[in-house]
Amino acid sequence: MVLIAVAGGTGHAGRAVAADAAGRGLKVRSVSRHVPETAGPGRVAGVEHVAADFRTGDGVAEALAGVDLLVETLDARTGPSLKALPATTVAVLAAAQRAQVSRCVLLTIVNAAQSSMGYYQVQAARARSYEASGMPTTVVYATQFHDLVAGIFSAGSRVGIIPTFSGVSFQSIATADVARVLVDEAVAGLGTGAEVHRSIKAGGPSVWPMKSMGEQWKSATGRRGVVASMPLPGSFGTFLRAGKNLVPDAAVGRLEFNDWLAAGPRG
Ligand SMILES: NC(=O)c1ccc[n+]([C@@H]2O[C@H](COP(=O)([O-])OP(=O)(O)OC[C@H]3O[C@@H](n4cnc5c(N)ncnc54)[C@H](OP(=O)(O)O)[C@@H]3O)[C@@H](O)[C@H]2O)c1
């Protein structure tokens, strides 16, 4: 049976990847530094959870033993872990090569290379490592997750404001839709004739003005707060207003933001 490893399988996207792969009848191994408790959040039914640290190498050889396919959904937000993330991704690829993994698939963010924000630059560097590795790889460039946009509204509503950035739209996508694309790409790598390197874009089903999404979120969650338009300063604001977070030609997601909200709770 095909064994797929999800590097970061306890994370937000990683859990969806593990669930998707398990649902297809693949053998799935989630690899992360912390292994969730038997019934705890982060544990996906039917998935083997093992502990390893791709940054230090602890436990990695054992974690990748017998693995056929690997999907990388690692992330770090701040500090030394974020700084080290490009090197951690290089380490993932090196370990996968040693383990003779047939294809590695990376999840990253659309047009990250076009933003000067440190976090996006890190994501772009990781994608370049996959492209340059010479190994069979795919990079999936996804738009923002529904949860990320909802998280902005949720955080603001705690102080009575549902913030929406003027001139900004999102084409947000459900993690289940991203997961489907990632696992499709991994599985395609088992066949003969797959290109050595592939780049795929994955966007949500529709582009929505952020203001409209804020109103949808308020109505679905019943949370209090004024839906307020405000400018987002800085280079990230410029990036978003230029629509660089959008890929209307790659609207592969199926679950709309409002349907995702309806499947809640999303407060
Ligand atoms: N959020 C969005 O809207 C969005 C949109 C498009 C693309 N993406 C991309 O999606 C990717 C995944 O994001 P996410 O939000 O799912 O991340 P996340 O929830 O923070 O999950 C990160 C995962 O990586 C594991 N991890 C981190 N460092 C590790 C290490 N050294 N060794 C082993 N495991 C490690 C974490 O578990 P432990 O901490 O237990 O190790 C966790 O399982 C990122 O590259 C992000 O840029 C995000």
Ligand 1 center–CA 153 separation, angstroms: 21
For ligand 1, whether the C-beta of 55 sits within 6 Å is yes
For ligand 1, whether the C-beta of 43 sits within 6 Å is no
Q: What is the mean pLDDT of residues 220-235?
A: 95
Which of 15, 28, 30, 32 most suits a substitution to test ligand 1, by most atoms within 8 Å of the C-beta?
32
On the CB side of 107, CA atoms within 13 Å amount to 32
Q: What is the pTM of this model?
A: 0.96
Ligand 1 center–CA 144 separation, angstroms: 13
Mean pLDDT lowest for which of 23-27, 39-43, 90-94, 176-180?
39-43
For ligand 1, whether the C-beta of 260 sits within 6 Å is no
Using 50, 70 and 90 to split pLDDT, how confident is the model at 43? confident
- Whole-number average pLDDT of the chain: 95
Domain residue extents for the chain: 3-143+174-202
Q: Fold for domain 3-143+174-202?
A: Rossmann fold (3.40.50)
